[in-house]
């Protein structure tokens, strides 16, 4: 390996490349252009905050993948990716945010040089990082190629985690526990929300058990009171108040591997409807954990939760979870399997999910979640170990 500090072993990267190529062969893809930074890192180890410009990995059926990106980021590839020098093919800064040329023109020329001028080229069309302009430019520059949608082809190969990946997620779980513990311990009336989030970030980045903390793909979600009826609000400069609940949707992260974890705190005496919702949510969560077994389906988890909530008179139509692992902003999910009633994906040992059954009512929100690992036998293993309850501080 050429990387100064590779995240994984050569054997692990070989396993990943083989899985991706098998999926490409099945889909009839000659070569993949992978622009999702999570997939780039999974295949090559490349890790840099460079996804605001066009970059990617070219994966053919033979030889090393090729890293392609901005020239000033090539040293980052040398430091983090396992690739040889010959497999780093950067473009110059004249392509960056230019109105007269586009980086995909450089990529198209490189694909021609590599022999893919008439190939079936898979691209990740439904992706945060692949723009409409990128697609139309490739079409114009490669008129003899067949550019096809291969969205999530690599993502699906990441669904079952290796032992090395699971070890990283366990380290992230210890960080997540520290973050939740700190947030609940510090929360009190009069504390400014931004100051509380500053301490959450300190816990996140200092890490746990001797392992450093990485930055999360999603910022801390911690709305209070009526704001907690909206699941994706962040924070402001207001203070925590008695008579309000605050949920904390956080993730511990180690070397880009995320373990999301959520708990809720109420300052004062919670209302009866929230107490009833808490009981149903915990019962449904535990029913879903029991259904989360190898050989069952993703929908079995959602239906186990949904049955309990329906009996309690709680309507919840949203999906209740998603796969987790290696991620970059703006999302810590893998964008493949969904824990919902329509998804019949069969669960396999080594799959990891954020089982996320939140309840959002007009004047409050309640999140009690578990990051889970599908085991060889028996119910899912929670990565984190904290009480499943609404935390109350008088």
Residues 386 and 276: their CA atoms lie apart, in Å, by 20
Residue keyed to tokens 């990283």: 168
Residue that terminates a domain, selected from 135, 157, 179 = 157
Q: What is the pLDDT along the chain (394 residues), one digit of tens a residue?
A: 567 678 899 999 999 999 999 999 999 999 999 999 999 999 999 999 999 999 999 999 999 999 999 999 999 999 999 999 999 999 999 999 999 999 999 999 999 999 999 999 999 999 999 999 999 999 999 999 999 999 999 999 999 999 999 999 999 999 999 999 999 999 999 999 999 999 999 999 999 999 999 999 999 999 999 999 999 999 999 999 999 999 999 999 999 999 999 999 999 999 999 999 999 999 999 999 999 999 999 999 999 999 999 999 998 778 999 999 999 999 999 999 999 999 999 999 999 999 999 999 999 999 999 999 999 999 999 999 999 999 999 8
Measured in whole angstroms, the distance separating CA 392 from the mean position of its chain's CA atoms is 30
pTM beyond 0.95: yes
CATH number assigned to the domain comprising residue 67: 3.40.350.10
Where among 157, 184, 213 does a domain terminate? 157
Q: Is residue 258 part of a domain?
A: yes
The reply to whether 5 falls in a domain is: no
Tell whether 88 and 126 lie within a shared domain: yes
Do 16 and 139 fall into the same domain?
A: yes
> Could you tell me the two tokens for 238?
């207001």
If we measure between CA atoms, which residue out of 203, 205, 207, 246 comes closest to residue 227?
Answer: 246
* Pick from 264, 267, 272, 294: nearest CA to 357: 264
- Are the CB atoms for 333 and 258 separated by under 8 Å? no
Residue 2 lies in a domain: no
Return the structure tokens found at 145. Answer: 């190629």
Query: Do 92 and 223 lie in a common domain?
Result: no
Same domain, 106 and 179: no
User: Which phi and psi angles does 63 have, rounded to 5°?
Assistant: 75, -175
CB-based contact 212:174 (threshold 8 Å): no
**Residue 47 and residue 120 share a domain:** yes
Domain boundary among 157, 172, 201: 157
Query: Is residue 231 domain-shared with residue 308, that is, in the same domain?
Result: yes
Number of structural domains the chain divides into: 2
Question: Does residue 51 lie within any of the structural domains?
Answer: yes
Q: Are residues 141 and 191 in the same domain?
A: no
Are 18 and 72 contained in the same domain? yes
Side-chain-side CA neighbours of residue 24 (13 Å): 24
Let me know whether 168 and 203 are in one domain. yes
The secondary structure of 252-286 as a DSSP string is EEETTEEEEEEEEEEES---HHHHHHHHHHHHHHH
Domain residue limits at 338: 163-393
Both 32 and 137 in one domain: the answer is yes
Question: What DSSP string describes 113-178?
Answer: HTT-TTSEEEE--SSTT--HHHHHHHHHH-TTSEEEE-TTHHHHHTSBPPHHHHHHHHHHHHHHHH
Give backbone dihedrals phi and psi of 31, rounded to 5 degrees, phi first: -150, 140
Query: Parallel, antiparallel, or unpaired: how do β-strands 56-59 and 365-366 relate?
Result: unpaired
In a domain, 4, yes or no: no
| Element spanning 392, H or E | strand 390-393
Tokens of 41: 């890192």
Residues 134 and 268 in one domain: no
d(CA 302, CA 283): 13
On whether both 180 and 70 belong to a single domain, the answer is no
């Amino acid at each position: 390996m050429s990387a100064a500090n590779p995240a994984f072993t050569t054997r692990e990267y070989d396993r990943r490349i083989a899985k991706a190529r098998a999926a490409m062969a099945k889909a009839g893809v000659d070569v993949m252009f992978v622009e999702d930074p999570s997939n780039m890192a999974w295949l090559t180890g490349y890790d840099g905050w460079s996804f605001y410009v066009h970059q990617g990995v070219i994966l053919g059926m033979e030889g090393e993948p090729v890293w392609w990106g901005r020239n000033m980021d090539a040293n980052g590839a040398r430091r983090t990716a396992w690739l040889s020098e010959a497999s780093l093919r950067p473009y110059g800064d004249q392509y960056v945010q230019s109105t007269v040329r586009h980086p995909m023109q450089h990529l198209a020329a490189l694909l021609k040089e590599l022999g893919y001028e008439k190939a079936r080229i898979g691209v990740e069309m439904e992706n945060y990082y692949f723009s409409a302009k990128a697609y139309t430019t490739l079409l114009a520059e490669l008129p003899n190629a067949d550019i096809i949608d291969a969205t999530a082809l690599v993502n699906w190969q990441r669904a079952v985690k290796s032992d090395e990946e699971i070890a990283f997620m366990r380290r992230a779980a210890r960080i997540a526990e520290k973050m939740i513990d700190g947030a609940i311990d510090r929360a009190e009336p009069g504390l400014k929300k931004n100051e509380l989030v500053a301490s959450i970030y300190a816990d996140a980045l200092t890490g746990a058990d001797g392992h450093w903390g990485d930055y999360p793909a999603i910022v801390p979600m911690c709305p209070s009171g009526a704001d907690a009826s909206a699941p994706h609000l962040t924070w402001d400069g207001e203070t925590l108040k008695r008579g309000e609940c605050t949920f904390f949707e956080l993730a511990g992260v180690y070397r880009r591997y995320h373990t999301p974890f959520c708990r809720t705190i109420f300052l004062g005496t919670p209302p009866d409807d929230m107490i009833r919702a808490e009981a149903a949510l915990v019962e449904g969560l535990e029913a879903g954990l029991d259904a989360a077994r190898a050989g069952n389906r993703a929908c079995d988890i959602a239906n186990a939760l949904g049955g309990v909530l329906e009996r309690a008179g709680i309507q919840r139509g949203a999906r209740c979870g998603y796969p987790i692992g290696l991620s970059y902003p703006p999302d810590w999910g893998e964008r493949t399997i969904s824990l919902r009633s329509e998804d019949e994906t069969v669960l396999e040992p080594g799959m990891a999910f954020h089982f996320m059954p939140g309840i959002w009512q007009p004047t409050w929100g309640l999140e009690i979640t578990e990051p889970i690992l599908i085991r060889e036998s028996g119910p899912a293993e929670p990565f984190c170990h904290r009480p499943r309850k609404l935390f109350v501080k008088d």
